[in-house]
């Protein structure tokens, strides 16, 4: 691709999200390119390796810059939903559930993978629970929407989120931020770095500490609910080994030990509350607690004999070597990651031990190696690479069946010894070893200076081997669950790009995405087949010559087969199956308006129609005449036909407006005013589309006022998030029949506000 055309396309690609209180500033193509190196030397690279690629120029991508990340702005994965079109983020039991265009993590079983690839500096962070550690000292966050089957391969059917950490510089610099907010929240963050040996060797050290009271309380134990006590550290070294060879090493560690990620009880579904295990054994729910007080229920609290214990830590080391010969680049990315966590919650959601203590243990180690090359051959550009990934994952779900015999005596009329099952368990335990490899190549031909065509393909191979046991003492089950599976797939890509004389980029794109099969740990599940998707997308983006108006739009259509869906079956056992097919189509429109040099407005609107086209599944309310019913499936009348139901976490409409204005006071500094309003249509959290797992349409607003001193050496910011204190669900599930199919899940944060003082040097 010709240099002028390439730079114009890169400039058009950098769509920057303005965060509410993060004082985000618009990046043009030059500043975006500068963050990764000189545009004179970069021909074609993937977005997660250098911030530029053919994939970027013909795809829907948003980039959040460093000024938007921090207290009052983009603090964690959950905050991305408000800033990026067609992104929905929630958590369940401390697991990240990110959806892009309605595609994400739906399984709740051990060993499940997301459909959105989560990366740090281009290296995969495979464990969804490890993706909730929070952001700090970030250069930028890149979000690619849509399947990325060629350059990213496995697990990127929904899209890619890449966290780019700040790099060491050849000059001494640093910053410090201190925040105090409601809920007695304290956040301390800082970084320092500079040269060790001239331009040859530089370092950077960064860290973050967070402490916050709970958004609620456990009304039985008195301990907090959804609090945070965490810290993180990162060290980086950059060496210019030769004029054209750079080595970057990044090591980080995080730890969290608190009462976060609680199960909140949102009420019964098909079984009346009095018939749930806890009340039958003499306990009370949070609804009973508040009814006795004559007060309205506050679901930010829990009423449980078990605290929501959360203890997790992770360590990673990356080495990125880049050889840049101008017309040829070669990048090696090596990464090692270790992650451990223990979570406990209460499945029976009452103040008695009704066989509800749910203990979840996860311990993983992973290694990845990727080589990527680019070559500029004049009118032809090449991008290719190869990768290898391996992971060993140990997991355990242990639910002691205390008081289960007493419960059976009550509901079944048996006469079992009351403590018969007290020493038993519902237990999933085992290890899954994963090995994956891929190789890809794509080429771009400049047909004319304004018209180019890209074709490429990737070969994917993956193998998973699981060993373990499933034990359910109350049902007399204790069996091995050893199984393995391997899969391969070819994922092609075809792109046609045209740049109009006015600088607008038009593109059409056809790609295939691949998400490997699954072997769940200690599960009775058969090996789960891969899911794949064909994606068809048309898009445009551009900017007026004076830079006052930028615009982009994308229309897409997905054809999914074997979509992986997780649920709790009729035997109270977690199960994942392949939904036969689904289709998604939609439209995304974005605009950036700069009516004055110090004023920027950004808005986006999305439409998404995401439905199952062929899906039969067991239904927890089947036969209940007071509940919604579905047609039975022709080949199995015991199953319900869910064709036409919406996919989970797929709002039909979203609209967001961002505004940023700077008051320049000359020698007295400047004041930044920022605000945003984000509207999300209703979403369902399960495939049944019932009100007991639904969040109605809502809007959230954020705002900030920041004073910056002359020279930007220090600043003071007053900010608020969810300033109207909107109550909204982040995710829900319908629990096992053994617990009465109750609705439990997590909540979006309440109104938070605070003051941040910052120093830059």
The pLDDT of residue 11 is above 50: no
pLDDT at 61: 86
The confidence band for 759, taking pLDDT boundaries of 50, 70 and 90, is very high
The more confident residue out of 34 and 210 is: 210
The pLDDT of residue 1 is above 70: no
Q: Around Cβ 529, how many Cβ atoms within 10 Å?
A: 16
d(CA 501, CA 504): 8
The confidence band for 7, taking pLDDT boundaries of 50, 70 and 90, is very low
Mean pLDDT of all residues in 553-575: 80
The more confident residue out of 618 and 303 is: 303
The confidence band for 548, taking pLDDT boundaries of 50, 70 and 90, is very high
Percent of the chain whose pLDDT exceeds 90: 71
pLDDT at 647: 93
pLDDT at 573: 66
Who's near 699: CB < 8 A, 6+ residues apart? 677, 678, 679, 680, 726
pLDDT at 265: 96
Domain boundaries, the chain: 3-760
The confidence band for 17, taking pLDDT boundaries of 50, 70 and 90, is very low
The confidence band for 154, taking pLDDT boundaries of 50, 70 and 90, is confident
pLDDT at 684: 94
The more confident residue out of 431 and 4 is: 431
Structure tokens at 339: 């992650």
132, 167 in Cβ contact below 8 A?
A: no
The pLDDT of residue 485 is above 60: yes
What DSSP line would sit under 675-741, residue for residue? EEEEEE--EESSTT--GGGEE--EEEEEEEEEEE-GGGSEEEEEEEESTT----EEEEEE--GGGTS
Mean pLDDT of all residues in 271-285: 95
pLDDT, mean over the chain: 88
d(CA 205, CA 423): 49
The confidence band for 16, taking pLDDT boundaries of 50, 70 and 90, is very low
pLDDT at 104: 87
Fold category of 3-760 in CATH: Maltoporin; Chain A (2.40.170)
What DSSP line would sit under 558-612, residue for residue? EEEEEEEEEEE-TTS-EEEEEEEEEEEEEEEEEEEEEEETTEEEEEEEEEEEEEE
d(CA 199, CA 295): 66
pLDDT at 718: 98
The pLDDT of residue 27 is above 50: no
Q: What is the dihedral of CA 516, 113, 74, 223, to 10 degrees?
A: 180
Among 27-41, 364-378, 559-573, which stretch is predicted with the lowest mean pLDDT?
A: 27-41
212, 224 in Cβ contact below 8 A?
A: no
The pLDDT of residue 37 is above 80: no
The pLDDT of residue 589 is above 60: yes
The confidence band for 568, taking pLDDT boundaries of 50, 70 and 90, is low
The confidence band for 737, taking pLDDT boundaries of 50, 70 and 90, is confident
The confidence band for 49, taking pLDDT boundaries of 50, 70 and 90, is very low
Q: How far is the CA of 365 from the CAs of 336, 393, 432, 468, in angstroms?
A: 8, 7, 11, 18
Q: How far is the CA of 565 from the CAs of 93, 229, 577, in angstroms?
A: 17, 33, 5
Mean pLDDT of all residues in 71-98: 88
The confidence band for 570, taking pLDDT boundaries of 50, 70 and 90, is low
The more confident residue out of 543 and 57 is: 543
pLDDT at 57: 57
Q: How far is the CA of 756 from the CAs of 411, 665, 717, 722, in angstroms?
A: 56, 21, 5, 17
Among 68-72, 182-186, 709-713, which stretch is predicted with the lowest mean pLDDT?
A: 68-72
The pLDDT of residue 409 is above 90: yes
Percent of the chain whose pLDDT exceeds 70: 91
The confidence band for 498, taking pLDDT boundaries of 50, 70 and 90, is very high
pLDDT at 109: 75
Mean pLDDT of all residues in 302-310: 96
The pLDDT of residue 692 is above 80: yes
Query: Measured between alpha carbons, how far apart are the two ends of the chain, in Å?
Result: 40
Among 11-25, 517-531, 594-608, 671-685, which stretch is predicted with the lowest mean pLDDT?
A: 11-25
Among 111-115, 243-247, 348-352, which stretch is predicted with the lowest mean pLDDT?
A: 111-115
pLDDT at 579: 77
Mean pLDDT of all residues in 518-528: 85
């Amino acid at each position: 691709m010709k240099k002028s055309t390439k730079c114009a396309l890169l400039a058009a690609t950098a769509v920057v999200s303005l965060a509410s209180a993060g004082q985000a500033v618009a990046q043009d193509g030059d500043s975006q390119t500068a963050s990764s190196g000189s545009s004179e030397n970069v021909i074609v690279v993937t977005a997660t390796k250098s911030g530029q690629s053919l994939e970027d120029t013909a795809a829907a991508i948003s980039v959040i810059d460093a000024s938007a990340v921090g207290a009052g702005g983009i603090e964690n994965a959950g905050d991305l939903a408000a800033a990026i079109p067609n992104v929905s983020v929630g958590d369940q039991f401390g697991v990240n559930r990110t959806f892009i265009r309605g595609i994400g993590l739906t399984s709740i079983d051990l060993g499940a993978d997301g459909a959105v690839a989560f990366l740090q500096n281009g290296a995969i962070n495979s464990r969804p629970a490890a993706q909730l550690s929070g952001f700090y000292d970030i250069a930028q966050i890149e979000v690619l929407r849509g399947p990325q089957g060629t350059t990213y391969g496995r697990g990127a059917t929904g899209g890619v989120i890449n966290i780019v950490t700040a790099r060491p510089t050849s000059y001494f610099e640093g910053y410090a931020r201190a925040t105090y907010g409601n809920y007695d929240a304290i956040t301390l963050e800082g970084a320092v770095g500079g040269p060790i040996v001239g331009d040859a060797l530089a370092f950077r050290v960064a860290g973050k500490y967070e402490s916050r009271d709970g958004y609620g309380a456990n009304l039985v134990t008195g301990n907090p609910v959804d609090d945070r006590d965490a810290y993180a550290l990162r060290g980086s070294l950059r060496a210019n080994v030769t004029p054209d060879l750079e080595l970057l090493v990044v090591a980080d560690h995080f730890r969290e030990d608190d009462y976060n990620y609680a199960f909140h009880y949102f009420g019964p579904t098909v079984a009346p509350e009095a018939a749930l295990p806890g009340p039958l054994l003499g306990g009370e729910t949070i609804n009973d607690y508040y009814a006795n007080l004559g007060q309205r229920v506050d679901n930010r609290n829990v009423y449980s004999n078990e605290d929501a214990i959360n203890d997790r830590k992770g360590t990673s080391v990356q080495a990125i070597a880049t050889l840049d010969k101008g017309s040829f680049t070669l990048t090696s990315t090596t990464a090692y990651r270790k992650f451990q966590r223990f979570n406990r919650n209460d499945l029976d959601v009452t103040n008695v031990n009704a066989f509800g203590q749910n203990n979840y243990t996860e311990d993983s180690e992973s290694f990845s190696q990727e080589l990527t090359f680019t070559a500029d051959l004049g009118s032809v550009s090449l991008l290719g690479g190869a990768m290898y990934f391996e992971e060993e994952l140990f997991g355990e779900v242990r639910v002691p069946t205390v008081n289960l015999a007493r419960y059976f005596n009550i509901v079944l009329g048996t006469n079992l010894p009351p403590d018969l099952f007290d020493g038993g368990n519902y237990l999933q335990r085992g290890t899954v070893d994963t090995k994956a490899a891929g190789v890809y190549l794509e080429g771009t031909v400049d047909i004319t200076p304004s018209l180019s065509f890209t074709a490429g393909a990737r070969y994917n191979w993956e193998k998973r081997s699981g060993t373990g046991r499933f034990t359910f003492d109350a049902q007399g089950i204790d069996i091995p669950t050893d199984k393995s599976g391997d899969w391969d797939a070819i994922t092609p890509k075809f792109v046609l790009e045209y740049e109009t004389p006015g600088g607008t980029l038009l593109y059409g794109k056809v790609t295939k995405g691949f998400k490997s099969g699954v072997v769940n740990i200690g599960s009775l599940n058969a090996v789960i087949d891969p899911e794949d998707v064909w994606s068809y997308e048309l898009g445009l983006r551009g900017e007026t010559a004076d830079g006052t108006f930028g615009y982009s739009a994308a229309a897409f259509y997905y054809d999914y087969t074997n979509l992986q869906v997780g649920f709790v079956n009729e035997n109270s056992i977690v199960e994942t199956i392949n939904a036969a097919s689904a289709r998604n189509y939609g439209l995304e429109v974005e605009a950036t308006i700069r009516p004055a040099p110090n004023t920027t407005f950004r808005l986006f609107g999305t439409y998404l129609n995401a439905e199952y086209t062929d899906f039969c599944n067991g239904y927890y309310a089947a036969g209940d005449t007071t509940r919604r019913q579905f047609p039975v499936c022709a080949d199995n009348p015991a199953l319900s036909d869910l064709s036409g139901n919406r996919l989970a976490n797929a709002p039909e409409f979203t609209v967001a407006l961002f505004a940023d204005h700077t008051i320049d006071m000359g020698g007295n500094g400047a004041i930044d005013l920022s605000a945003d309003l984000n509207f999300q249509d209703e979403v369902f959290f399960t495939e049944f589309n019932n009100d007991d797992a639904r969040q109605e349409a809502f809007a959230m607003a954020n705002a900030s006022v920041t004073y910056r001193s002359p020279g930007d050496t220090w600043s003071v910011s007053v900010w608020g998030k969810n300033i109207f204190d909107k109550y909204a669900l982040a995710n829900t599930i319908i629990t096992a029949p053994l617990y009465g199919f109750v609705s439990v899940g997590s909540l979006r944060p309440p109104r938070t506000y605070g003051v941040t003082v910052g120093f830059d040097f």
